[in-house]
Amino acid sequence: MTPGGHDALDGERPGVLAAEAEGYLLAHAHHEQIRREAAELRARLPWLTTAQAEELTGHYVRLRLDVTRRLLLSTVRRAEELREEYENRYAALRRVLLRRHAAAACAVLACGAGVSSLAAGVLTR
Tell me: the pLDDT tens digits for 39-58? 999 999 999 999 999 999 99
Q: Whole-number mean pLDDT of the chain?
A: 89
Helices (H) and strands (E) in the chain, counts: 2, 0
Burial class (CB in 10 A: 0-12, 13-18, 19+), 64: middle
Greater model confidence, 114 or 100: 100
* Band of pLDDT at residue 8, cut at 50, 70 and 90: very low
The Cα 55–Cα 37 span in angstroms is: 14
Angle between helix 50-124 and 13-43 (nearest 10):
140
Q: Say if residue 6's pLDDT is above 80.
A: no
The stretch 86-100 carries a mean pLDDT of 97
